[in-house]
């Protein structure tokens, strides 16, 4: 089976380099396939590494979330001085 090595950036999966096909004995015969082997290189391509990152979204407090406990007012009203 013929093999073609393809190098891609690890995060964005953009093409870095496509190598030539390494032919086998059955190269050129009918219904003979080429297996593509992917090797990840680097982190991000120059196009994606210079792209601006989106601003972080603010957390919206859910109405179902528990509210913090109210302060303990029992000691304030029961104080006798």
Question: Using alpha carbons only, what angle is made at residue 17 by residues 15 and 12, rounded to the nearest 5 degrees?
Answer: 25
Phi, psi dihedral angles at 73 (to 5 degrees):
-100, 0
Segment 21-72, tens digit of pLDDT: 999 988 888 888 889 999 999 899 999 888 666 655 655 555 555 555 555 5
Domain ranges of the chain: 1-49
4: tokens are: 């073609």
Question: Using alpha carbons only, what angle is made at residue 27 by residues 23 and 30, rounded to the nearest 5 degrees?
Answer: 155
Look at residue 70 in the predicted model and tell me its pLDDT.
53
What whole-number distance in Å separates Cα of residue 46 and Cα of residue 65? 42
């Amino acid at each position: 089976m013929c093999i073609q090595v393809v190098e891609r950036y690890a995060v964005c999966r953009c093409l870095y380099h496509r190598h030539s096909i390494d032919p086998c004995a059955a190269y050129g015969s009918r219904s003979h396939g080429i297996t593509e082997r992917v090797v990840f290189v680097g982190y991000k391509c120059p196009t994606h590494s210079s792209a601006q990152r989106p601003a972080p979204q603010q957390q919206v407090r859910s109405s179902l979330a528990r509210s913090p406990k109210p302060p303990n007012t029992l000691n304030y009203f029961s104080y006798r001085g």
